[in-house]
Amino acid sequence: MGRRLARAYAVEWAKAIRRRFTPAGLIIVMAIVACMPLARPIAPGNASAYAFVAYATPIALNLAGLLLLVVFASNLMAAEIGGSIWLTLVRPIRRTEALAAKIALGMTYAIIMTGCVAVVAWALAYALGDLKGITYGGELIYTHTDMVLCYIFGIFLSLFPQFCAVSYAIFISMCVRSSVSALAASVGIWLLVDVVKHPLHLAPGLFTSYVETPWEVFLRRCDGIEAGFWPTSAYAIGVSLAWFVVFTGLSAFLMARRDFRV
């Protein structure tokens, strides 16, 4: 099984690389971060560069990044579900293994996108600012190492809702028969739920409510305010994992029973 899954993953990567959207999505998020100094200039001072990183990263990942990730993931299945997926299933591979390879590819794309945003944000901070830790009244409150480790944990935590977004988009694409329908449904449902989740008091149980959570501690530390990751981070991880299991399970159920013939 492991060898079949690895081969399926390699095939999915080969197909993804040929799609223009794959590099375009990464270029877009990096360009957004690169333009951020125009909206949030890095001024002299020990906190400005860190504040820029705390400002640029969530905007690139949580606004454009999540949307691009949903578009990328929804197209992984929808582009083939009308019939061409038989080219994959005629090989000695289980349907669930083909699905797992697509989910793994979406998760890998999320990791690469997050890494690209982090590299560009910190490169600009190093080039234009002073990264010597957070001081207040001449006293060092947080060292540069403290801030970097806090950011790394934020990166790790941000992957949970992103992985869940991948499983959500693939599940939606399993329910339709075209790329356009998958894109419209996944983005439309996402926006609809985002509008009604607070009036209907659904926010605590939805993974979309925790996309800002990973950066709250880092942002507060930029202001010299002590803040802890727990228990908010535990809620973000738990809710995201729960929805990831639900979406993945539903996708596997549909994948095992769906007739892919045109």
Range of the domain at 203: 2-257
Residue 149 lies in a domain: yes
The number of domains in the chain is: 1
Residue 262 lies in a domain: no
Task: Take residue 194 and report the two structure tokens written for it.
Answer: 């985002």
**148-195 residue pLDDT tens:** 898 999 999 999 999 999 999 989 888 877 777 777 888 888 888 888
pLDDT confidence of residue 91: 55
Q: Of the candidates 186, 243, 185, 176, which has an alpha carbon nearest to the alpha carbon of residue 209?
A: 243
**77-122 residue pLDDT tens:** 766 655 455 445 445 567 777 888 889 999 999 999 999 999 999 9
Measured distance CA(67)–CA(32) in Å, rounded: 14
Residue 172 lies in a domain: yes
Q: Counting beta carbons within 10 angstroms of the beta carbon of residue 73, is it exposed (0 to 12), middle (13 to 18) or buried (19 or more)?
A: buried
What DSSP element (H or E) covers 41?
A: none
Measured distance CA(117)–CA(196) in Å, rounded: 30
